[in-house]
Amino acid sequence: MSINSHRNRRRFNQTLGVVMATGFSLPASQARAQENKPIRIIVPFATGGSNDIVGRSMAQQLSSRLKRSVIVDNTPGAGGAIGSSTVARAEPDGSTLLLISSTFTMNASIMKLSYDPVKSFTPVAMLGMGPSVIVVAASLPVNSIKELIDYSKKNPGKVFFGSAGVASFQHFAIELFKLRTGADLTVVQYKGGGPALMDLAAGHVHVSLGSLIQMQTFLRAGKIKILGVAGHRRVDLIPDVQTLKETGVDVEVSNWWGLLAPAGTPINVVDRLNREANAALAETDMKKRFAGEGADPMPMSRAEFEKFMAEETAKWAKVARETGIKIE
């Protein structure tokens, strides 16, 4: 062995020993810079929808708990796929998160995605679940689910449903509703639940479906009417409104929200985000926030959340096959 080779090997071993002793940690200055870097939560839909509302509530909580700036960045389009793709390509350092909802587990069954819904992300935290309701514009002359179905059949092609986008939660849910009831509803696609709801309140479309959390302002203003709850039980905030199953319609759909990080994000970073998100969900203010909107916080371990998403993906893939839903 040459002297140079021996020296090189010794230098390598010394360096390896230092790296192992420090646990592959970043220099202190880099670690501090990382901790001070703002966290960006990508909400893959427009402002005003349930995803946006939940994302901003959690951003505020995490900012307070982590002592770190947490901002929301709305990146709408393609049923949430554009925002999801942005996060899939982001640096896996914990500074970029994705706010997902039921839609995330639906896209893969009907869309060709630029990312893998499983391999491109790391589950961070389940946040909550909210009841979905079917609502109509106040001017539509119907006051029950049965009246809506009958009215749509008597006015074929003239009753418009506002959806949050192709392959969105609303899109899947209404196609299932149409399949089970024979209702004649023409789907109009928007870039999010917020814009769809604005057009519903203005009377440009006639029907929509979404989380109660995003309907409150328009309900109080008398712009829309609730005809039915699409969840498994009635909602305390609207106890007189029947579930779809109570009206004889075999449809049950609830929306939920969670957080993902890019694949490769350090486990210690993801674990901390999970702990802080779950702790935030246990706070009285956060519980009141969800309860006030008819939703429930649903803290889970990362493993539980991963299992939940797998089950949701399988369920909606079956619905896609059953309804024949596809991108036009």
Interval 95-150: pLDDT, tens: 999 999 998 999 889 889 999 999 999 999 999 998 889 999 999 999 999 999 99
**Distance, CA of 84 to CA of 95 (rounded, Å):** 15
Which residues, in sequence order, are CB contacts of 182 under 8 Å at separation 6+? 149, 153
Q: Is the pLDDT of residue 313 over 70?
A: yes
Q: Is residue 154 located within the same domain as residue 240?
A: yes
**Domain assignment of residue 202, given as a range:** 131-247
Q: Kindly tell me the sign of the dihedral angle through the C-alpha atoms of 93, 97, 103, 107.
A: negative
Tell me the per-residue pLDDT of 50-60, one tens digit each, with 9 for 90 and over. Answer: 889 899 999 99
* Reported pTM: 0.79
Structural domain includes residue 18: no
Query: b/e string for 134-166 if b means 16 or more Cβ within 10 A?
Result: bbbbeebebeebeebbebbeeeeeebbbbbbbb
Q: Is residue 319 located within the same domain as residue 260?
A: yes
- The answer to whether 281 and 127 have CB atoms below 8 angstroms apart is yes
Q: Is residue 267 located within the same domain as residue 306?
A: yes
Q: Is residue 240 located within the same domain as residue 135?
A: yes
CA distances from 60 to 41, 182, 277, 289 (A): 11, 43, 11, 12
- The answer to whether 173 and 28 have CB atoms below 8 angstroms apart is no
Residue at a domain's end among 202, 224, 247: 247
Tell me the per-residue pLDDT of 152-174, one tens digit each, with 9 for 90 and over. Answer: 999 999 999 999 887 788 899 99
Q: Is residue 123 located within the same domain as residue 267?
A: yes
Residue, of 80 and 227, whose pLDDT is higher = 227
- Tell me the percentage of the chain whose pLDDT exceeds 90: 66
Structural domain includes residue 23: no
